[in-house]
Amino acid sequence: MLAIIAGEGALPNILYRHLCALGQTPLIVELDGFPAAIPTAEKIHFRIEHLGSLLADLKARGITELCLAGHVQRPNIDPGQIDALTAPFVPAIAKAIQAGDDGALRAIVTIFEGAGFAVCAADEILPGLLPAAGVPSQIKPGQDHQTDATRASQIVAALGAVDVGQGCVVAKGQALALEGFGGTDWMLATLADGRRPAGPEGGLFYKAPKPGQDLRVDLPVIGPQTVAAVAAAGLDGIVIAAGGVMVLDADETVKACDAHGVFLWIREAG
Protein backbone atom coordinates (compact mmCIF):
# COMPACT_ATOMS: atom_id res chain seq x y z
CA MET A 1 0.00 0.00 0.00
CA LEU A 2 1.13 3.51 -0.82
CA ALA A 3 1.00 6.77 1.11
CA ILE A 4 1.79 10.16 -0.39
CA ILE A 5 3.71 12.50 1.89
CA ALA A 6 2.02 15.53 0.39
CA GLY A 7 2.95 19.18 0.41
CA GLU A 8 1.63 22.23 -1.36
CA GLY A 9 1.17 22.57 -5.11
CA ALA A 10 -0.64 20.61 -7.82
CA LEU A 11 1.52 17.47 -7.92
CA PRO A 12 0.00 15.57 -4.96
CA ASN A 13 -3.52 15.99 -6.34
CA ILE A 14 -2.44 14.88 -9.83
CA LEU A 15 -0.90 11.72 -8.38
CA TYR A 16 -3.91 11.09 -6.16
CA ARG A 17 -6.41 11.40 -9.02
CA HIS A 18 -4.28 9.15 -11.24
CA LEU A 19 -4.08 6.41 -8.62
CA CYS A 20 -7.81 6.64 -7.86
CA ALA A 21 -8.53 6.23 -11.58
CA LEU A 22 -6.54 2.98 -11.43
CA GLY A 23 -8.66 1.75 -8.55
CA GLN A 24 -6.11 2.60 -5.87
CA THR A 25 -6.75 5.07 -3.07
CA PRO A 26 -3.51 6.26 -1.47
CA LEU A 27 -3.38 7.62 2.04
CA ILE A 28 -2.42 11.30 2.16
CA VAL A 29 -0.02 12.38 4.89
CA GLU A 30 0.28 16.12 5.61
CA LEU A 31 2.90 17.93 7.62
CA ASP A 32 1.18 20.45 9.89
CA GLY A 33 1.12 23.87 8.27
CA PHE A 34 1.36 22.59 4.69
CA PRO A 35 -2.09 21.34 3.66
CA ALA A 36 -2.43 19.35 0.46
CA ALA A 37 -5.14 20.58 -1.90
CA ILE A 38 -6.91 17.21 -2.13
CA PRO A 39 -10.32 17.80 -0.53
CA THR A 40 -11.74 14.29 -0.99
CA ALA A 41 -8.76 12.27 0.22
CA GLU A 42 -8.35 10.43 3.48
CA LYS A 43 -5.65 12.35 5.31
CA ILE A 44 -3.61 12.10 8.43
CA HIS A 45 -1.55 14.95 9.87
CA PHE A 46 1.72 14.91 11.72
CA ARG A 47 4.27 17.16 13.34
CA ILE A 48 7.94 16.60 12.65
CA GLU A 49 8.34 16.08 16.43
CA HIS A 50 6.06 13.02 16.06
CA LEU A 51 7.80 11.45 13.06
CA GLY A 52 8.53 8.19 14.89
CA SER A 53 4.87 7.84 15.86
CA LEU A 54 3.86 8.55 12.26
CA LEU A 55 6.09 5.74 10.98
CA ALA A 56 4.60 3.33 13.51
CA ASP A 57 1.08 4.40 12.47
CA LEU A 58 1.85 3.88 8.79
CA LYS A 59 3.17 0.40 9.46
CA ALA A 60 0.05 -0.45 11.45
CA ARG A 61 -2.06 0.68 8.47
CA GLY A 62 -0.17 -1.67 6.16
CA ILE A 63 1.70 1.07 4.28
CA THR A 64 4.82 -0.24 2.55
CA GLU A 65 5.63 2.53 0.01
CA LEU A 66 5.98 6.29 0.38
CA CYS A 67 6.06 8.99 -2.28
CA LEU A 68 7.16 12.52 -1.39
CA ALA A 69 5.31 15.08 -3.53
CA GLY A 70 4.70 18.81 -3.19
CA HIS A 71 6.49 21.66 -1.51
CA VAL A 72 7.05 22.21 2.21
CA GLN A 73 9.25 24.61 4.11
CA ARG A 74 11.43 23.29 6.88
CA PRO A 75 9.47 23.34 10.12
CA ASN A 76 10.74 24.68 13.39
CA ILE A 77 11.27 21.95 15.98
CA ASP A 78 9.83 22.33 19.48
CA PRO A 79 11.98 20.09 21.70
CA GLY A 80 9.16 19.88 24.23
CA GLN A 81 6.90 18.22 21.64
CA ILE A 82 9.26 15.36 20.72
CA ASP A 83 7.63 12.06 21.64
CA ALA A 84 9.31 8.85 22.73
CA LEU A 85 9.15 7.14 19.34
CA THR A 86 10.75 10.14 17.66
CA ALA A 87 13.58 10.65 20.15
CA PRO A 88 15.91 8.15 18.40
CA PHE A 89 15.56 10.13 15.16
CA VAL A 90 16.39 13.53 16.67
CA PRO A 91 20.08 13.60 15.57
CA ALA A 92 19.12 12.74 11.98
CA ILE A 93 16.24 15.26 11.96
CA ALA A 94 18.45 18.02 13.37
CA LYS A 95 21.07 17.28 10.71
CA ALA A 96 18.42 17.41 7.99
CA ILE A 97 17.06 20.76 9.19
CA GLN A 98 20.56 22.27 9.00
CA ALA A 99 21.44 20.80 5.60
CA GLY A 100 20.71 22.17 2.15
CA ASP A 101 17.51 21.05 0.43
CA ASP A 102 19.00 17.96 -1.16
CA GLY A 103 20.87 16.99 1.98
CA ALA A 104 17.74 17.42 4.07
CA LEU A 105 15.66 15.23 1.78
CA ARG A 106 18.39 12.61 1.62
CA ALA A 107 18.40 12.43 5.42
CA ILE A 108 14.61 12.06 5.56
CA VAL A 109 14.65 9.34 2.89
CA THR A 110 17.30 7.50 4.92
CA ILE A 111 14.98 7.59 7.94
CA PHE A 112 12.05 6.26 5.90
CA GLU A 113 14.10 3.49 4.31
CA GLY A 114 15.69 2.59 7.63
CA ALA A 115 12.18 2.13 9.02
CA GLY A 116 11.43 -0.38 6.26
CA PHE A 117 9.53 1.74 3.74
CA ALA A 118 10.27 1.84 0.02
CA VAL A 119 10.47 5.37 -1.40
CA CYS A 120 9.17 5.77 -4.95
CA ALA A 121 9.37 8.71 -7.34
CA ALA A 122 6.34 10.62 -8.61
CA ASP A 123 7.23 9.71 -12.19
CA GLU A 124 7.18 6.02 -11.28
CA ILE A 125 3.51 6.50 -10.41
CA LEU A 126 2.80 8.65 -13.48
CA PRO A 127 5.57 8.24 -16.10
CA GLY A 128 4.05 10.93 -18.35
CA LEU A 129 5.29 13.58 -15.93
CA LEU A 130 8.70 13.39 -17.63
CA PRO A 131 8.25 14.50 -21.27
CA ALA A 132 10.42 13.36 -24.14
CA ALA A 133 13.17 15.63 -25.42
CA GLY A 134 12.14 18.17 -28.02
CA VAL A 135 10.34 21.47 -28.53
CA PRO A 136 6.56 20.92 -28.30
CA SER A 137 5.70 24.63 -28.46
CA GLN A 138 4.97 26.59 -31.63
CA ILE A 139 7.77 29.06 -30.85
CA LYS A 140 11.24 27.56 -31.25
CA PRO A 141 14.50 28.58 -29.57
CA GLY A 142 17.09 30.43 -31.62
CA GLN A 143 20.86 30.24 -31.74
CA ASP A 144 21.22 32.74 -28.87
CA HIS A 145 18.97 30.57 -26.75
CA GLN A 146 21.09 27.51 -27.42
CA THR A 147 24.14 29.40 -26.21
CA ASP A 148 22.25 30.69 -23.18
CA ALA A 149 21.01 27.19 -22.36
CA THR A 150 24.57 25.91 -22.26
CA ARG A 151 25.56 28.78 -20.00
CA ALA A 152 22.52 28.22 -17.78
CA SER A 153 23.25 24.50 -17.42
CA GLN A 154 26.74 25.37 -16.18
CA ILE A 155 25.32 27.85 -13.67
CA VAL A 156 22.73 25.42 -12.29
CA ALA A 157 25.37 22.69 -12.02
CA ALA A 158 27.50 25.08 -9.95
CA LEU A 159 24.52 26.03 -7.74
CA GLY A 160 23.60 22.39 -7.30
CA ALA A 161 27.13 21.43 -6.31
CA VAL A 162 26.67 23.53 -3.16
CA ASP A 163 23.01 22.42 -2.74
CA VAL A 164 21.50 25.85 -3.41
CA GLY A 165 19.06 25.82 -6.33
CA GLN A 166 17.78 24.15 -9.47
CA GLY A 167 17.10 27.11 -11.76
CA CYS A 168 18.35 30.37 -13.18
CA VAL A 169 17.55 33.04 -15.76
CA VAL A 170 20.09 33.83 -18.49
CA ALA A 171 19.97 36.41 -21.29
CA LYS A 172 22.79 36.91 -23.82
CA GLY A 173 25.13 35.00 -21.53
CA GLN A 174 24.31 37.10 -18.45
CA ALA A 175 22.84 35.53 -15.32
CA LEU A 176 19.86 37.72 -14.41
CA ALA A 177 18.52 35.67 -11.49
CA LEU A 178 19.46 32.59 -9.49
CA GLU A 179 17.07 30.29 -7.67
CA GLY A 180 17.58 30.08 -3.93
CA PHE A 181 15.46 29.62 -0.82
CA GLY A 182 12.47 31.44 -2.31
CA GLY A 183 12.16 28.98 -5.20
CA THR A 184 11.19 29.45 -8.83
CA ASP A 185 8.11 31.62 -8.30
CA TRP A 186 10.01 34.11 -6.16
CA MET A 187 12.96 34.23 -8.55
CA LEU A 188 10.79 34.92 -11.60
CA ALA A 189 8.73 37.48 -9.68
CA THR A 190 11.90 39.50 -9.04
CA LEU A 191 12.10 40.12 -12.79
CA ALA A 192 8.44 41.06 -13.30
CA ASP A 193 6.47 44.28 -12.81
CA GLY A 194 9.27 46.57 -13.90
CA ARG A 195 11.83 45.15 -11.49
CA ARG A 196 14.02 43.56 -14.13
CA PRO A 197 17.45 45.25 -14.17
CA ALA A 198 18.65 47.15 -17.20
CA GLY A 199 20.55 44.89 -19.56
CA PRO A 200 19.89 42.34 -22.29
CA GLU A 201 16.29 41.73 -23.26
CA GLY A 202 14.62 38.36 -23.61
CA GLY A 203 16.45 35.38 -22.26
CA LEU A 204 15.34 32.05 -20.85
CA PHE A 205 14.45 30.30 -17.65
CA TYR A 206 16.43 27.08 -17.15
CA LYS A 207 15.69 24.30 -14.68
CA ALA A 208 17.42 20.99 -13.97
CA PRO A 209 18.04 18.63 -11.06
CA LYS A 210 21.15 19.09 -8.97
CA PRO A 211 24.22 16.95 -9.71
CA GLY A 212 23.92 13.68 -7.81
CA GLN A 213 20.39 14.47 -6.64
CA ASP A 214 18.16 11.58 -5.56
CA LEU A 215 15.62 11.80 -8.38
CA ARG A 216 12.96 10.06 -6.31
CA VAL A 217 12.41 13.21 -4.25
CA ASP A 218 12.29 16.93 -4.99
CA LEU A 219 12.44 16.45 -8.76
CA PRO A 220 12.04 19.92 -10.30
CA VAL A 221 8.57 20.80 -11.58
CA ILE A 222 7.08 23.30 -14.03
CA GLY A 223 3.52 23.85 -15.20
CA PRO A 224 1.15 26.43 -16.68
CA GLN A 225 1.77 28.85 -13.81
CA THR A 226 5.48 28.73 -14.57
CA VAL A 227 4.76 29.75 -18.15
CA ALA A 228 2.73 32.76 -17.01
CA ALA A 229 5.53 33.82 -14.65
CA VAL A 230 8.14 33.46 -17.42
CA ALA A 231 6.05 35.64 -19.74
CA ALA A 232 5.54 38.24 -17.00
CA ALA A 233 9.34 38.35 -16.52
CA GLY A 234 9.79 39.24 -20.21
CA LEU A 235 11.58 36.00 -21.10
CA ASP A 236 11.53 34.22 -24.43
CA GLY A 237 11.12 30.70 -23.16
CA ILE A 238 11.75 27.80 -20.82
CA VAL A 239 14.49 25.17 -21.03
CA ILE A 240 14.33 22.07 -18.85
CA ALA A 241 16.64 19.08 -18.60
CA ALA A 242 15.18 16.03 -20.34
CA GLY A 243 14.49 13.23 -17.88
CA GLY A 244 15.05 15.50 -14.89
CA VAL A 245 12.11 17.94 -14.70
CA MET A 246 8.43 17.07 -14.40
CA VAL A 247 5.83 18.96 -16.41
CA LEU A 248 2.42 19.17 -14.75
CA ASP A 249 -0.58 19.24 -17.10
CA ALA A 250 1.73 18.98 -20.10
CA ASP A 251 -0.91 19.76 -22.71
CA GLU A 252 -2.05 22.86 -20.82
CA THR A 253 1.56 23.90 -20.30
CA VAL A 254 2.25 23.78 -24.04
CA LYS A 255 -1.00 25.64 -24.76
CA ALA A 256 0.06 28.31 -22.26
CA CYS A 257 3.42 28.64 -24.01
CA ASP A 258 1.69 29.16 -27.35
CA ALA A 259 -0.75 31.65 -25.85
CA HIS A 260 2.04 33.68 -24.23
CA GLY A 261 4.39 33.42 -27.21
CA VAL A 262 7.20 31.64 -25.39
CA PHE A 263 8.98 28.38 -26.21
CA LEU A 264 9.37 25.18 -24.23
CA TRP A 265 12.53 23.21 -24.91
CA ILE A 266 13.07 19.83 -23.24
CA ARG A 267 16.82 19.69 -23.69
CA GLU A 268 19.08 16.68 -23.77
CA ALA A 269 22.24 17.01 -21.70
CA GLY A 270 25.24 18.42 -23.49
Instruction: Give the end of a domain, one of 100, 125, 150.
Output: 125
CB–CB of 88/53 below 8 Å?
A: no
Q: Residue 195: is its pLDDT beyond 60?
A: yes
pLDDT for the residue numbered 34: 81
Q: Which domain holds residue 174?
A: 130-267
pLDDT digits 0-9 by tens, 236-254:
999 999 999 999 999 999 9
Most confident range (mean pLDDT) of 125-129, 134-138, 165-169, 197-201 is 134-138
Q: What is the DSSP letter of 147?
A: H
Q: Are residues 97 and 210 in the same domain?
A: no
The mean pLDDT value for 141-150 works out to 96
Query: How far is it, in rounded angstroms, from Cα 170 to Cα 201?
Result: 10
Q: Model's pTM, two decimal places? A: 0.86
pLDDT for the residue numbered 99: 61
97, HSE (Cβ side, Cα atoms, 13 Å): 13
pLDDT for the residue numbered 103: 60
CB–CB of 3/60 below 8 Å?
A: no
Q: Are residues 99 and 168 in the same domain?
A: no
Assign 171 a pLDDT band (cuts: 50, 70, 90).
very high
Q: Residue 126: is its pLDDT beyond 60?
A: yes
The mean pLDDT value for 130-150 works out to 96
Instruction: Give the end of a domain, one of 125, 152, 175.
Output: 125
Q: Are residues 228 and 169 in the same domain?
A: yes
Share of the chain above pLDDT 70, in %: 96
CATH code of the domain in which 76 resides:
3.40.50.20
Length of the chain: 270
Query: How far is it, in rounded angstroms, from Cα 124 to Cα 84?
Result: 34
- Max Cα separation, the chain? 60
Q: Are residues 107 and 51 in the same domain?
A: yes
Please indicate whether residue 211 or residue 52 has the higher confidence score (pLDDT).
52
106, HSE (Cβ side, Cα atoms, 13 Å): 13
pLDDT digits 0-9 by tens, 85-95:
989 988 887 77
Residue 259: beta bridge partners? none
Q: Residue 169: is its pLDDT beyond 90?
A: yes
Instruction: Give the end of a domain, one of 125, 149, 168.
Output: 125
Q: Are residues 149 and 197 in the same domain?
A: yes
pLDDT for the residue numbered 213: 76
The mean pLDDT value for 45-54 works out to 90
CATH code of the domain in which 179 resides:
3.40.140.80
Q: Residue 100: is its pLDDT beyond 60?
A: no
Q: What is the distance, to the nearest Å, from the Cα of residue 112 to the centroid of all Cα atoms in its chain?
A: 19
In the chain, the number of structural domains is 2
Q: Are residues 75 and 109 in the same domain?
A: yes
Q: Are residues 191 and 138 in the same domain?
A: yes
The mean pLDDT value for 223-244 works out to 96
The mean pLDDT value for 40-63 works out to 90
Average pLDDT of the residues of the chain: 89
Q: Are residues 6 and 113 in the same domain?
A: yes
C-alpha dist (Å) from residue 185 to 51, 139, 142, 232: 29, 23, 25, 11
Q: What is the DSSP letter of 8?
A: B
Q: Are residues 52 and 95 in the same domain?
A: yes
Q: Dihedral through CA 225, CA 176, CA 169, CA 165, nearest 10?
A: -90
Query: How far is it, in rounded angstroms, from Cα 111 to Cα 16?
Result: 24
Q: Are residues 140 and 86 in the same domain?
A: no
Q: Are residues 98 and 26 in the same domain?
A: yes
pLDDT for the residue numbered 194: 75
Q: Are residues 262 and 140 in the same domain?
A: yes
CB–CB of 120/65 below 8 Å?
A: yes
Q: Residue 210: is its pLDDT beyond 70?
A: yes
Share of the chain above pLDDT 90, in %: 61
Task: For 199-250, give the DSSP string.
Answer: S----EEEE-PPTT--TTSS--EE-HHHHHHHHHTT--EEEEETTT-EETTH
Parallel, antiparallel or unpaired: strands 237-241 and 263-267? parallel
